[in-house]
Chains A and B, each alone.
Chain A
Amino acid sequence: MNSSSRETSGSSTDRLKRLTAAPQSLAATLRLVALPSMGVARTRWLLSHLDPVEAVAAILAGTLPPELPAPTHRVDRSHLDKWRGGLREQDVDELVARNVGGSQQILDAGHRFWPFGDDVDPPVLLFARGRLDCLAEPRRVAIVGTRRCSAIGRSVAGEMGWTLAEHGVAVVSGLALGIDGAAHRGAGASATDPGRIGVVASGLDMIYPPRNEQLWNDVAHTGVVISETPMGERATRWRFPARNRLIAGLSELVVVVESHERGGALITVDEALRRAVEVVAVPGSVLGRSCVGTNQLLMDGVPPVRNGQDLVDVLGVRPPEGPQLTIPTEGGQGSNQPKLLLSAPEQAILDALDAGPVMIEDLAKGAELDVSETLTIVQRLRRQELVAIDGAEVAIALDGGQ
């Protein structure tokens, strides 16, 4: 206790006072969480019998009190040494200043927006950036899936995200490439979006993947991005499954849009089942590699959903202002967009794309045009953002850019 109070200077205490009635305790917890090899299980074990300030003191003294129960995870001398070294090197003021300030906040179980009140495996601390009140949204639904998804999966995720947001449901996802990003982009396109919740594995200042920087900042601005990893730390491998458990813990329903035979989305499903959170999945082509996992879920008895409307039915929600949906302008759902005046071959191509992404040559065959003509028309439709090209495939454009 004494060593800790000596090291915690006035300025960081002041900073933390604004967050909690017990700044010393929060500072000590933050120090513990920021240690190497200190996962949530080990932290909880330490804090099960010691208060954080005592735990810091005990580690610094090098002797853990004998009344501590046997650890759930392996803890030996080398961990203690590592932690002690870590604590000695910590600059507490810097650590606090880095994690608290601006739109950057720390939540603990006592915080009024703490969303993991009765979770079976809650985090010890939560780092957040953005609108904390989003965490208190009554309806929260996770849309998850593979990073390597098909254009169909992407568009389905986008449409579901948008429809949920239109009905005032907060969309929870992992800010990854593929399905996650598409779901959040879709939700962001809605005018009635209550605020998206992005759950990430890295520290909030270590944007990963870099390609999603814009989306990340967008969510942190209009919604909230949370992580149980302190600032400045990269997402190590084990942090992703841990992140998935938070996604499941935050949501009343987990929607899996596309998943390969194995993948993070299936870990989210396991975590959801552990918490008795309902899981639904989107059926996919029996030939698509990116649908193997989701189709297996359906075989295992998970209920299918096809689109946002199905989700709305499952949830039993109504749109905030009356039943009337606003027609999205740019960046909404393609099929709801006001149809432009299209020539017959243009319409033929769009029709041929209804079934999903198609290669140029098959498209030409389907629309009964020659390849050159097809190229010209696809290019023209692409300019109007009605179709998009990915690899060799042409697909209906859905989210109209980022």
Chain B
Amino acid sequence: MLATIHSAVVDGVDGIPVRVEVDVRDGLPAYSVVGMPDAACRESRDRVRAALGNSGLRWPQRRITVNLAPSSVRKQGAGLDLPIAVAVLVADGQIPAEAVAGLGMAGELGLDGSVRPVPGMIILASACKGTEFLAPIANRSEVRRIREGQVRVVGTLRQLALALDGSGPAPERADLEPERVVEHERAEFADVRGQQLARRAAEIAAAGGHHLLFVGPPGAGKTMIANRLAALLPDLDESEALVTTRIHSAAGIPLPAGGLVRRPPYRAPHHAASTAALIGGGGATVRPGEVSLAHGGVLFLDELGEFSVPVLEALRQPLEEGHIRVSRLTGPRSMPARFQLIAATNPCPCGYGVTPASCRCNPAATARYLRRLSGPLLDRFDLVVHVRPPEAQVLLGDGTEETTATVAERVERVRTLARERGLLSNASIPSERIDELPPLTASGRAVLLHAVKAGELTGRGMHRIRRVARTISDLADGPDSLDEDLIDQALGLRQSLQPDRSAA
């Protein structure tokens, strides 16, 4: 007899609906899976057989054929265990066929018959066809927000079999459990002692969504500041949170209590990361890379100059477009990748070039080191500041720095202003609105022109300076037009990696 169950598989951050068809007929006992299963999927036989046995159900000693349709899509992971097991039971006549009509499900089976969570459940639940969906109970908080009333959760295969047989209670609806309100702990900004300039730059970056580059020796606290910067960002709104949750779910990253990624993520991949790890990749199916995992939050690249050049160049497209296109065996995928780039680099190979007289590097070696950071990439940073290790007495003294709560409030206010202007953030003021959103005063215009003429700014850089100046003005409830002082401050926060000519 033939049975069909709806399910789905994850590809990138999208789900692909899959139909699990099982045919059980007389013949020598055999089990075969067709329809491009991967290794984990093929191994489902052993898990399903043991799970059935340990749930007091029978593994049919007959010829079993499992077809995963459409056969053109590669099926990955163990999420098809549950639908295969249920389809086997239906095809064997242990569960009535009507009970599973219109039912979709996904989940991995333990040998004891428990239904275990799989990555990407929120994507699977949305993509799966059918009128109802069954998810593992451990994924409950993740799926509670989608397909209202249609999603139920199960704990064990036996419980499900009894329910479908009519002899047990129906599985519980996912959305009936009250949402737990979770207060997320935020890293404390006051921990960043001294470092006035870096603190100021971090606040502006957080408020305006600007990309920020720290230049400084090891031990200057660059990582700490980047981490605190993410804490200054406001919570993601509902739709952003869902997108980010889907990405994190697809990548199998543990979701926060409550099931929704509400806090902007902070990702800090190591500089040995491959292009695939950073922008996403894999074999036939695609796993989201760090740029996507940082969607809505902060991507921190420490030792920027140590990243391979192809990796850095691959960042340029998502920085411009807010999503990443990855081409794979089975065609191109697009994944969301709108992140705020925070990076850190040494000023030279020895790291002490922040104060030029104590640098031990050959000037040619320093030039070579900085050349790795291509002009186009550097040009995309709105803020570039030099940092140095704080002095011991500052670290030991009583901190008088502002706390996360104080600064985050100002950040939130600037972000709200941006939203009222119809923007995600000040950093995304489009060039066609740049003259309208922060108009320049005559003196402000003169200062900008001077910087362009002196070769310090490109056309793109000029727009970036104006956006940063807008944020500085917003933070201080400053004027609506950008005057000389605001532009000067923005220019001062975009420091050059090269010495001034009059210092050379």
Binding site for B on A (CB under 8 A): 147-154, 177-178, 181, 209, 211, 258, 285, 288-291, 357, 359-361, 364, 370-372, 375-380, 382-383, 385, 388-393, 395, 397-402
A151 and B197 in contact (CB under 8 A), knowing A288-B358, A380-B488?
no
Binding site for A on B (CB under 8 A): 194-197, 200, 215-216, 347, 353-364, 386-388, 447, 450, 472, 484-485, 488-489, 491-493, 495-496, 499-504
Residues of A within 8 Å of B488, CB to CB, are: 375-377, 379-380, 383
Would B499 and A148 count as touching, CB distance under 8 A? no
A376 and B347 in contact (CB under 8 A), knowing A209-B363, A382-B500?
no
Residues of B within 8 Å of A389, CB to CB, are: 495-496, 499-500, 503
Residues of B within 8 Å of A378, CB to CB, are: 492
Would B357 and A153 count as touching, CB distance under 8 A? yes
Pick the contact of B503 from A290, A360, A379, A397 — CB < 8 Å? A397
Would B360 and A289 count as touching, CB distance under 8 A? yes
- Told that A289-B357, A289-B358, A395-B503 touch, could you supply 13 new A-B pairs with CB distance under 8 A? A149-B356, A150-B356, A152-B357, A154-B503, A361-B194, A364-B196, A371-B197, A383-B488, A385-B502, A388-B501, A393-B354, A397-B503, A398-B502
Would A375 and B355 count as touching, CB distance under 8 A? no
Would A391 and B347 count as touching, CB distance under 8 A? yes
Would B504 and A372 count as touching, CB distance under 8 A? no
Residues of A within 8 Å of B215, CB to CB, are: 391-392
Instruction: Tell me, in angstroms, the Cα distance from A393 to B215 when the chains sit together.
Output: 12
Q: Which among A359, A361, A364 has the greatest number of chain B C-beta atoms within 10 A? A: A361
Would B356 and A148 count as touching, CB distance under 8 A? yes
Instruction: Tell me, in angstroms, the Cα distance from A149 to B358 when the chains sit together.
Output: 9
Q: Min CB distance, A253 to chain B, in Å?
A: 25
Instruction: Tell me, in angstroms, the Cα distance from A282 to B340 when the chains sit together.
Output: 48
Residues of B within 8 Å of A391, CB to CB, are: 215, 347, 353-356, 386, 499
Closest to A177 in B: B363
Closest to A147 in B: B363
Q: Pick the 8 closest A-B CB pairs, nearest first.
A: A150-B357, A392-B386, A375-B492, A390-B499, A388-B503, A379-B488, A388-B500, A371-B196
Closest to B386 in A: A392
Q: Min CB distance, A78 to chain B, in Å?
A: 32
Residues of A within 8 Å of B197, CB to CB, are: 360-361, 371, 375
Q: Min CB distance, A155 to chain B, in Å?
A: 9
Q: Min CB distance, B492 to chain A, in Å?
A: 3
Closest to A158 in B: B502
Would A383 and B447 count as touching, CB distance under 8 A? yes
Instruction: Tell me, in angstroms, the Cα distance from A178 to B362 when the chains sit together.
Output: 11
Instruction: Tell me, in angstroms, the Cα distance from A153 to B359 when the chains sit together.
Output: 14
Instruction: Tell me, in angstroms, the Cα distance from A356 to B118 when the chains sit together.
Output: 62
Would A401 and B502 count as touching, CB distance under 8 A? yes
Q: Min CB distance, B451 to chain A, in Å?
A: 8
Instruction: Tell me, in angstroms, the Cα distance from A150 to B358 when the chains sit together.
Output: 8
Residues of B within 8 Å of A385, CB to CB, are: 502
Would B355 and A393 count as touching, CB distance under 8 A? yes
Residues of B within 8 Å of A150, CB to CB, are: 356-357
25 pairs from A and B in contact (CB 8 Å cutoff): A147-B363, A150-B357, A151-B503, A154-B503, A177-B363, A258-B357, A290-B357, A290-B358, A360-B197, A364-B196, A371-B197, A375-B489, A376-B485, A376-B492, A379-B489, A380-B488, A385-B502, A388-B500, A389-B495, A389-B496, A391-B347, A392-B215, A392-B355, A392-B388, A402-B501
Pick the contact of A149 from B195, B357, B502 — CB < 8 Å? B357
Q: Min CB distance, B390 to chain A, in Å?
A: 9
Pick the contact of B356 from A285, A379, A393 — CB < 8 Å? A393
Residues of B within 8 Å of A359, CB to CB, are: 354-355, 386, 388
Closest to B484 in A: A380
Q: Min CB distance, A218 to chain B, in Å?
A: 14
Residues of B within 8 Å of A401, CB to CB, are: 501-502
